[in-house]
Amino acid sequence: MASRASKIFFGFIVALIIAMSAFPQTTSAAVTLSSFTARMITENISARVVMSWTTASEINTAGFNIYRSERADGPYTRINPQLIPAKNDLIAGGTYTYTDDKTQATQTYYYQLEDVELNGTSARHTPIAVNSVGMQSTTDWFGIALGIGALAVIGGGVLLVRRMR
């Protein structure tokens, strides 16, 4: 036999579900993007670009698409054959990687990340650039600093330079 408290709790849950379904979500940003980085790995003239991105949260996200261009202003072409599935973690977000192996070491490439919501709407994020010289437009400052052999801790004003041999 159910207690009075459990009946009240059950009634509250049912009312909450009904209320939520009556008001569809109108979230303009389904994904909060923490970082989107790219690095080129070269092997003679051929190369591959490894992209990584992290989300702080995901709400009703179906997945992601990646677009590539040889010019910053486009046109951009989708390079992933299928939608990259979202982890849909509202609290912790997710970490993802995708490798583009149809690149050349002598070319600069621009990539755009698109998040696609369950209802079909989508949003593209600011493009990043990558080439064999290491030009990147990212928020991964730690990785960039390590890539050039120096680590700068901006907040504390400390600069550590490692001598390359």
* Residues paired with 33 in a beta bridge: 55
* pLDDT tens digit sequence for 46-80: 899 999 999 998 989 999 999 999 999 999 999 99
Q: Is the pLDDT of residue 6 over 60?
A: no
Residue 44 belongs to a domain:
yes
Residue 25 belongs to a domain:
no
Count of domains observed in the chain? 1
* pLDDT tens digit sequence for 116-139: 999 999 999 999 999 877 444 444
Residue 78 belongs to a domain:
yes
Residue 163 belongs to a domain:
no
Residue 162 belongs to a domain:
no
CATH number, domain at 68? 2.60.40.10
Residue 49 belongs to a domain:
yes
Q: Which residues constitute the domain of residue 111?
A: 31-136
Residue 14 belongs to a domain:
no
Residue 1 belongs to a domain:
no
Q: Is the pLDDT of residue 102 over 90?
A: yes
